[in-house]
Structure 1
């Protein structure tokens, strides 16, 4: 179980960390998907980029020996990405970013479940 937790969480850290930094940097390829979902560009720095990056850091802390922080970060990311999926659905946006949000939700959910199972 521990190996699965480490692998899934490392993937979640990498994916969510990249996504958070991309939002903070207003990375051009993500802008059309955000606009299609009705997300104002001003939200990319805070709350979106900040929360994703903080979640990735929390997952990393969980891997480095603070397991409750990792589980809490995973729970927060599950809530964040559930809201992201909901936002895309409300906007009837089924772009690549909608699919990515679903993937991030699954990764975060797996990290959460494996983190709980390991504690």
Structure 2
């Protein structure tokens, strides 16, 4: 495992963890778009929990690589789903936001698979 892998994984986990925290605390700038996209309020805690679990999984993956790979794959699916949700809502101006999370997760996953 390289230092780059550790740093990128740690930063990605913090970034995704911040996103989880933002959903779980219902930050206005996060939940208003979710409501616009038609995501039911009852899903918001589950979405935040999924992100939090993925962030923790990435960190655990530094010690147990298979957990990190599974967490990374799950987060890729999560954020691809977020992109699809934004596209379905025709909120094209918001497409970059889930991509800002998807890109580092993909890099982290690639580093984890090749480590």
Using the size of structure 1 for normalisation, the TM-score is: 0.88
Whether 2:71 is the aligned partner of 1:73: answer yes
Distance in 1, matches of 2:67 and 2:100, equals: 22
Shift in CA distance, 95/38, structure 1 to aligned 2, threshold 3 Å = farther
Whether 2:42 is the aligned partner of 1:42: answer yes
What is residue 88 of structure 1 aligned with on the other side?
Answer: 86
What is residue 6 of structure 1 aligned with on the other side?
Answer: 6
For 1:101, which of 98, 111, 115 is the aligned residue? 98
Structure 1 contact 33–95 (Cα < 8 Å) conserved: no
What is the Cα deviation at residue 95 of structure 1?
4.2
The alignment yields a C-alpha RMSD, in angstroms, of 1.4
Gaps (5+ residues) in structure 1? none
What is the Cα deviation at residue 15 of structure 1?
0.8
What is the Cα deviation at residue 3 of structure 1?
2.4
Distance in 1, matches of 2:20 and 2:4, equals: 24
Gaps (5+ residues) in structure 2? none
Moved >2 Å (runs of 4+):
none
Residue correspondences, number: 115
Using the size of structure 2 for normalisation, the TM-score is: 0.91
